[in-house]
Amino acid sequence: MTRTQRTADRPVTTLDERAPAWSPRTARARFRAGLAGPTAGVAAGHTQANLIAVPADWAYDMLLFCQRNPRPCPVLDVTDAGSPTTVLAEGADLRTDLPRYRVWQDGELVAEPTDARPHWRGDLVAFLLGCSFTFEWALSRAGVPIRHVEQGRNVPMYVTGRPCRPAGRLSGPMVVSMRPVPPERLGAAIRESSLLPAVHGGPVHCGDPAGLGITDLDRPDFGDPVALQEGDIPVFWACGVTPQAAVMASRPPFAITHAPGQMFLTDARDEQYRLVGVD
């Protein structure tokens, strides 16, 4: 399993203390200019998205994989083959407007550029999947602390022992993100995230990480370890890095993804994906 570089001895600093006030367009322009780093806390109130682009002859397998595994892979948009644009962000370029990318060949990570144009192919179909960074604003408003933001780290992500439902040539384990939650805020965390199923929805597990096959919270497979405060309960949400685990397991000939935690900022508002009439 390929891990992202962890930064336990060098916490990831916030991109900019003003980043929550950036518009998505401003954030994308800064990423296009070379700024990189985790996007938790950027462009408050706007939907963030995971990216995976695969050759057109693998696109049906990917679409079916997402349809069969909607918790980790909630589809927000699918592009035409070769197109770097999306209806989720006018004027954006999926090849340049994310902080950092990952390039895969035969299931192996071969590059992590900040500009994917040299690697982009005319047959790539891009999938934009909902990201749990989106509901962190709702958690915050409900009084749920966001520990990884407080500690200046990327969210920790873990490969679980839960297999996804296979689809065509694609298979692999579910990946989860973890946020420590004080017990008195657990109900709020579950309620607020469950109202946003398009960005992973409610948790898939709360409590003992062994229930997901995770043996050590201090050794995430992606992102950074986050310190739990006394009494905190580890809470796990399905994660949009799951397709990257499927790439590693299924070894398609080529793929481009976001770097874990470094997402695409869309123009969509969180409210567009929030369920109504259920509060």
Tally of CB atoms within 10 A around 222:
25
Q: Answer whether residue 262 shows pLDDT above 70.
A: yes
Query: What residues does each domain of the chain span?
Result: 19-271
Residue 260 gets which letter from DSSP?
A: T
pLDDT above 80 for 60: yes
pLDDT of residue 185: 97
Count of Cβ atoms closer than 10 Å to residue 90 Cβ: 10
pLDDT band at 136 (very low <50, low <70, confident <90, very high): very high
pLDDT of residue 176: 98
49 pLDDT more than 50: yes
Which whole number is the average pLDDT over 261-274?
95
Average pLDDT over every residue of 173-190: 98
> For the residues 254-273, what does the mean pLDDT come to?
96
Task: Indicate the helix (H) or strand (E) that contains 4.
Answer: none
3-state secondary structure of 162: strand
Identify the DSSP state of 74. -
CA 177 to each of CA 13, 60, 171, 211: distance values in angstroms, whole numbers, following the listed order = 19, 26, 19, 14
DSSP, residue by residue, 173-231:
EEEEEEEEE-GGGHHHHHHHHHT-GGGT-S-SEES-GGGGT---TTS-SBS---PPPTT
Alpha-helix runs per DSSP H in 50-107: 56-68
Q: How far apart are CA 271 and CA 239, in angstroms?
A: 20
In this prediction, residues 49-72 reach a mean pLDDT of 98
pLDDT-derived band at 6, boundaries 50, 70, 90: very low
Q: pLDDT band at residue 215, thresholds of 50, 70 and 90?
A: very high
pLDDT, residue 18, reads: 80
| Cα pseudo-dihedral 111, 114, 118, 119, rounded to 10 | 50
pLDDT reading at 21 higher than 70: yes
Cα separation, 186 vs 206, in Å, equals: 9
pLDDT of residue 277: 52
Question: Average pLDDT for residues 147-166, to the nearest whole number?
Answer: 96
Q: Which amino acid is at 16?
A: D
* Burial (0-12, 13-18, 19+ Cβ within 10 Å), 210: exposed
Question: Mean per-residue pLDDT for 248-274?
Answer: 97
Q: What is the mean pLDDT of residues 233-251?
A: 98
pLDDT of res. 149: 93
In Å, how far are 67, 120, 164, 220, 228 from 215, measured between CA atoms? 29, 37, 19, 10, 16
Find the mean pLDDT for residues 12-37.
85
The architecture CATH gives domain 19-271: 2-Layer Sandwich (3.30)
Write the CA distances from 92 to 31, 236, 267, integer angstroms. 11, 31, 10
Average pLDDT, stretch 249-273? 97
Q: Which residues touch 151 (CB under 8 Å, ≥6 apart)?
A: 11, 226, 227
Question: What is the model's pLDDT at position 15?
Answer: 64
pLDDT at 172: 98
Percentage with pLDDT > 90 across the chain: 91
